[in-house]
Amino acid sequence: MAKKLLLIFNAYSGKGSIKTHLWEVIDILTKDGYEVHAYSTQQKGDATRIVERIGRRYHVITACGGDGTLNEVVCGAMTLTKRPFIAYIPTGTTNDFATCIGLPKNIKKAAQSITRAVPLSCDIGSFNGNYYTYVSAFGAFTEVSYKTPRQSKNTIGHLAYVFEGMKSLSNIKPYDVTVETESEKIEGKFILGMITNSNYIGGYENVLLKDFSINDGLFEVILIRNPNNPLDLQMILNSIISRKPDPRHVKIFKASKIKISSEEEIPWTLDGEFGGSHKEANIEIIPNAITLLKSYE
C-alpha cells in the first residue's frame, strides 16, 4: 500500500519558482512510491488549517515554500495526537531553517532528498501557546522580515531584506525588559533579543553562536544591550565581526524556559512572521516535538 504524502505549497513564495517545478516534484515523489495529494495555500494560516483538518491521514507532510509555510505546517502538526513526518522543500527568499539543517536549495534536489531521507528529531518552541520552528525575536531588524513587501521579496530576493533593514537603522529602539530563566534574572535595556535553535537568521549566519543544536532540549538565547555611546556601539560591532562577544554588551546563554516581560508591549517575530505585541512572553522548548525527513547525502 502506497504511503500518503500531503504536499502543501505556497505558489507565491520566493519568486514563485514552484509553479514551474510542481509536476516534476510530484513525479519524483510518486516514482518513489508515495501517493501524493497537493494543496495550494490561498491565504495566511491555510497550511495550519489543512494540517489540523486532514493531517492525520498522511505518513508525510511536505511544506513547499518559505520558513513561514514550514511554520504553519508545524503549527498544524503540533495539534495532532500522532504527528506525521515533516519534509521541507525550501522555495522562499531566505530559507533560514533549510540552510541551518543543510537542505538543498534546488527544488528538484530537495524533492529527491525526501526519497533518501532519514528521520531527524527536532525541538520546537512554544511562545505564549503558539509554536515556532527556529526563532522568536524582538528588537533591531526583527520587523524587517514581515514588513518587507512581498513584491520586493519576489523581485529582488534577499536584497529586499537588506534594503528594508537599512531603512530601519535610524529607528532602532531599546526595550526595558526583565528576562527570567530557571537559573537567573537579567534586567536592562536591550536593542535585540533572540531565542533560537538555528545558526541562520534573516539569510545570514548567526556568527555569535558557536554551539547550537536543534534537538538538545535547549534554546540559544542572545541579548544585545542598548549602547550608551558610540564607543559601546563600536564594541558591539567588534564583537559581531570578531565572533568574540563582549559579555558587557552581548549576553549569550542556553535555557529551556524563559520569560521576558516589560511595562510596554513589544512586537515579536516568530519564524520571520509577525507574532503579535506582548508585555509578557513565556517561551518554552518542546524537546523532540517533530520528526523531520533529512538526507545526509
End-to-end CA distance of the chain: 27
Q: Residue 75 is placed in which grid cell?
A: 503549527
Cβ distance 251 to 222 under 8 Å?
yes
Rounded CA-CA distance 297/289 in Å is 24
Mean per-residue pLDDT, 120-146: 85
| pLDDT category of residue 287 using cuts at 50, 70 and 90 | very high
pLDDT digits (tens, 9 = 90+) for 19-70: 889 999 999 999 999 999 999 999 999 999 999 999 999 999 999 999 899 9
**Domains identified in the chain and CATH numbers:** 3-123+290-294 (3.40.50.10330), 132-287 (2.60.200.40)
Q: Mean pLDDT across the stretch 241-248?
A: 74
Q: Is the pLDDT of residue 139 over 80?
A: yes
Among the listed ranges 6-20, 76-90, 196-210, 224-238, which one has the minimum average pLDDT value? 196-210
- Average the pLDDT over each of 26-40, 237-251, 269-283 and give the range with the smallest value: 237-251
Q: What is the percentage of the chain residues whose pLDDT exceeds 70? A: 84
Q: Residue 146: its pLDDT value, please?
A: 46
What is d(CA 38, CA 46) in angstroms, rounded to the nearest whole number? 13
Residue 143's pLDDT band, with cuts at 50, 70 and 90, is: low
- Read off the pLDDT of residues 147-202 as tens digits, 9 standing for 90 and up: 544 444 443 343 333 334 434 445 678 899 999 999 999 999 998 899 998 877 66
pLDDT of residue 198: 82
The pLDDT, as a whole number, for residue 297 is: 61
pLDDT at 192: 87
Please identify every residue annotated as catalytic: 273
Nearest to 135 by CA among 143, 145, 125, 144: 125
Q: What pLDDT shows up at residue 159?
A: 36
In 10 A of CB 162, how many CB atoms? 16
Q: Grade residue 203 by pLDDT with cuts at 50, 70 and 90.
A: low
pLDDT of residue 244: 75
Whether 241 has a pLDDT exceeding 60, the answer reads yes
